[in-house]
Amino acid sequence: MAHPTQLGFQDAASPVMEELLHFHDHALMIVFLISALVLYIIIAMVSTKLTNKFILDSQEIEIVWTILPAVILVLIALPSLRILYLMDEINDPHLTIKAMGHQWYWSYEYTDYENLNFDAYMVPTQDLTPGQFRLLETDHRMVIPVESPIRILVSAEDVLHSWAIPSMGVKMDAVPGRLNQTALLASRPGVYYGQCSEICGANHSFMPIVVEAVPLPHFETWSACQLDLA
């Protein structure tokens, strides 16, 4: 959960998000090193009155500043491609959930169950209870078991939406007439918040996403209760 004055990312709640945070730190260190080198060269060129004739026309220096950027790009590209493949990998999911975007709410269907589906509307400000977050709470949460690979099928009924949970490193566009899929795995129990990340109309800011990760026995109890209510 993000907090005021936060500068970095939210704490990772999935293995993919942990990888993304590591890659962010890796790329940022490279950027810092490049910035420091460029700043040093600028200061050196501005502050000194000396000129070295071997630097003005040097094949060796041109070779270095051609090869070095290529090596740096490779050092960034290889871990980036690895994470891209990890994000697309879906191996033997334990549960499949279909998230459908509407103007302006989300509906969820647990496709492994015969009749387990519900709509999730934002809780109005006047109905919030102490401890709930304004513009982020929903009347129904998407409940998932902890440490279980989950496949999320994302689509929309009317306009473009985007299903996103920042702490889990998940963001998938919901396109009418198209079924996209992504995967998530919650590392620990908790409640994780997200919002529609595609401008979808007047109430775009008022269709939050709440994912509650619980231990497997609790999930089985919850699903049984939902089926009894249905």
Tell me: the pLDDT tens digits for 4-21? 888 889 899 999 999 999
Same-domain status, 40 and 112: no
Same-domain status, 136 and 30: no
Domain end, chosen from 88, 106, 135, is at: 88
Same-domain status, 116 and 80: no
The CATH code of the domain that includes 168 is 2.60.40.420
Per-residue pLDDT tens over the stretch 59-109:
888 888 899 999 999 999 999 999 999 888 888 899 999 999 999 999 999
Instruction: Report helix angle 15-47 to 59-88, nearest 10.
Output: 160
Average pLDDT, the chain: 91
Same-domain status, 112 and 215: yes
Whose CA is closest to 211, among 132, 120, 123? 120
CB neighbours of residue 92 within 10 Å? 6
Q: How many domains does the chain contain in total?
A: 2
Between residues 26 and 230, the one the model is more confident about: 26
What pTM did the predictor assign? Answer: 0.85
Percentage with pLDDT > 90 across the chain? 72
- Find the domain containing 119 and state its range: 95-229
Same-domain status, 218 and 105: yes
Residue 76 within a domain? yes
Q: How confident is the model at residue 230, as a pLDDT?
A: 64
Residues 6+ apart with CB under 8 A from 48: none
Domain end, chosen from 38, 55, 88, is at: 88
Residue 3 within a domain? no
